[in-house]
Amino acid sequence: MSAGRTRVPQPVSGRLPVFPWDRLVPYKERARSHPGGIVDLSVGTPVDPVPDVVRAALRSAEDAPGYPTTYGTPQLREAAADWLRRRLGVADADPAAVLPTVGSKEIVAGLPAQLGLGPSDVVVIPELAYPTYDVGGRLAGADVVASDGLVPLGPRRVRLVWVNSPANPHGRVLPAEHLAKVVAWCRERGAVLASDECYVELGWDVAPVSVLHPSVSGGSHEGLLAVHSLSKRSNLAGYRAGFVAGDPDLVGELLEVRRHAGFMVPTPVQAAMTAALRDDAHVDAQRERYASRRARLGAAFTAAGFRVDHSEAGLYLWVTRDEDCWPTVSALAGAGVLVAPGDFYGARGARHVRVGLTATDERVDAACARLASLG
């Protein structure tokens, strides 16, 4: 790509980095120029239909002229608590400790500020992580530290620790024993532990466990928040549908802040979420679609000389051919396949690319055929 023709994005202020996806635009244009069209495996946006049961619930609630409640309907909170009990084994899930969110990204970005963190506080995020964890800390004016170990943090004023299991981008799953140690560490220091669990129903080689599960929490949700999304498991990214659950005191604190700020999930979307959380059949069917795409793409990348690391759960393959990620992105874009560079997620990702499973079966087959020509 010609450096003279590519505009390098700049941060809009000193508080925030360049929006990472802006850096991928020239490669997206290159992939689009492929005679067979682009196969976009970069962002991970769902492409399969919204389940009929969800669409019917949305239509049934479409006449909703009044303001929605920030707390969510009792039906939605009970559906979420029942889902936590039924699917994740959180037997003591409490509907009163569930709070709907406008998707999961907004609560990830807003949580430090909504918890009252500021310049003297530390937010700990994984070394390889979804960029919005960092952004949320920056927006609150807190000090963000990327560390997979807690002991090196020393006496710092840690107020919030993020974990993400199954992890984006690399698909690793944290075992219950490890999570329980993080819970104990946070409780000893009065820090909140926030667990992003939006891929928890997509375990392939390992079964993920929620931070709210008794094997992790010790039977108490004190100091714990679990963030969930319906975007992937129910194809509801366009609905902006998520929720946070856990410590009732923390949920109550968030509720008060969000009431003042006007964070409300629209009433029809709350009805759609309720239906989605009550129905397991569509989730299992979607999981099978992703499993098939994962198997085909994994085999194709391996045959083309790449190595798939980790990726035991989640919606992505973590792929390398032992070179800097950007030449890999460029080579794949030349074949009409767009992937995400690993350094979007931290310096330790600089020799990997992230491959999303969110493409139609026809596009996945096209990607596999093109990868064969690279092998």
The C-alpha angle with vertex 142 and arms to 160 and 231, in degrees rounded to 5, equals 60
Q: What is the pTM of this model?
A: 0.92
For the chain, domain boundaries: 20-49+282-374, 53-278
**CATH class held by domain 53-278:** alpha beta
279, pLDDT greater than 50: yes
Contacts 24+ apart (CB under 8 A), 115-119: 115/159, 115/160, 115/192, 115/250, 115/253, 115/254, 117/141, 117/142, 117/159, 117/160, 118/142, 119/143
Q: Do domains 20-49+282-374 and 53-278 have the same CATH topology?
A: no
**In this predicted model, what pLDDT tens digit does every residue of 287-345 receive, in sequence order?**
999 999 999 999 999 999 999 999 999 999 999 999 999 999 999 999 999 999 999 99
Nearest to 308 by CA among 372, 374, 352: 352
Round to whole Å and give the CA distance between 262 and 107. 13
Give the CA dihedral 200, 109, 141, 8, nearest 10 degrees: 110
pLDDT for 375: 65
Task: Tell me which CATH code domain 20-49+282-374 carries.
Answer: 3.90.1150.10
